[in-house]
């Protein structure tokens, strides 16, 4: 995966991704990061990249020319026209499923805006995807671009040590992750749930799924409903199991 970022703050991008898992993946070549300074492409002799909006209004707009020329330089270098993701609160809200889809691309270009936005004409010309990271307004597109690159990287084969861990966790199947515990068995008087020490893998899986469901129901009822509607057989099986348990208990009581 080759990430290209059109930005006025390339250092912010490089520093943001150069550590931890993304840093390691850049170092070993699983992903690459090309942060392009839009300012390097302005034809303005004072290196200006912004101007007042026609029609008036607050703030300055990034001009079309430097953005377009920076974009063209990338396309010329890599000889393909990759998807161009513009980070904006007006875009579609980013989701795990989008991270998986973007991870299938060979190259991606991220366009980071600043000031009050970018001249619409260059957006129309180059942008393929308008993406928001949530319903709030940030000062620029760099943080959202880093959020996307982090989430997409995790879905690129070879980035996570164990591919399974990218799939089994929060949001890959609508459910939030179950709680986890490590040593010691008791900390500040709190014990690790008994079932996790039992060595019974089926029981552990069952407990984890129940925990995920409980959490999701409370924190994200919207996701819970989605999961429930696609997994009706789980509730039927559970109800049958509880009925069997109830009957067994009744039988035992009668035998006494």
Among 7, 22, 88, 153, binds ligand ADE (CB under 6 A): 88
CB-based contacts of 154-158 (< 8 A; 24+ apart in sequence): 154/21, 154/99, 155/99, 155/100, 155/102, 155/103, 156/1, 156/25, 156/30, 156/31, 156/103, 158/25, 158/30
- Least separation in angstroms between residue 114's CB and ligand ADE is 9
Q: How many residues form the binding site for ligand ADE (CB under 6 A)? A: 11
Which of residues 69 and 116 has its CB atom nearest to ligand ADE in the complex? 116
Buried-state track 170-206, b at ≥16 Cβ within 10 A, e below 16: beeebbbebeeeeeeeeeeeeebeeebeeeeeeebee
**Least CB distance to ligand ADE at residue 169 (A):** 23
To ligand ADE, the closest distance from the beta carbon of 201 in angstroms equals 41
Tell me which residues in 216-235 interact with ligand ADE (CB under 6 A).
none
Q: How far is Cα of residue 221 from the mean position of the Cα atoms in its chain?
A: 20
Q: Report 89-128 residues binding ligand ADE (CB under 6 A).
A: 89
Site for ligand ADE in 126-185 (CB under 6 A): 132-134, 136-138, 141, 144
Give me 93's structure tokens.
């809200």
Q: How far is the CB of 65 from ligand ADE (least distance, A)?
A: 22
Sites of contact with ligand ADE (CB under 6 A): 87-89, 132-134, 136-138, 141, 144
């Amino acid at each position: 995966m080759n990430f290209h970022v059109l930005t006025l703050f390339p250092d912010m991008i490089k520093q943001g991704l150069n550590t931890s898992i993304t840093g390691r993946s850049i170092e070993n070549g699983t992903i690459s990061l090309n942060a392009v300074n839009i300012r390097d492409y302005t034809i303005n002799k004072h290196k200006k990249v912004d101007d007042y909006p026609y029609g008036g209004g607050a703030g300055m707009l990034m001009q079309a020319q430097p953005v377009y020329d920076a974009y063209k330089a990338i396309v010329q270098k890599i000889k393909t026209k990759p998807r161009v993701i513009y980070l904006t609160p007006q875009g579609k809200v980013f989701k795990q499923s989008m991270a998986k889809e973007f991870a299938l691309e060979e190259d991606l270009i991220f366009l980071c805006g600043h000031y009050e936005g970018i001249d619409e004409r260059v957006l129309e010309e180059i942008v393929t995807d308008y993406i928001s990271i949530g319903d709030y307004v940030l000062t620029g597109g760099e943080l959202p671009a880093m959020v996307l690159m982090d989430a997409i990287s995790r879905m690129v084969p070879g980035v996570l040590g164990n591919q399974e861990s990218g799939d089994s966790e929060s949001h890959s199947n609508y459910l939030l992750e179950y709680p986890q515990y490590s040593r010691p068995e008791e900390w500040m008087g709190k014990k690790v749930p008994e079932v996790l020490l039992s060595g019974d893998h089926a029981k552990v899986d069952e407990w984890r799924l129940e925990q995920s469901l409980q959490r999701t129901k409370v924190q994200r009822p919207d996701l819970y409903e989605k999961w429930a509607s696609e997994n009706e057989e789980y509730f039927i099986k559970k109800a049958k199991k509880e009925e069997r348990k109830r009957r067994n208990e009744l039988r035992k009581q009668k035998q006494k």
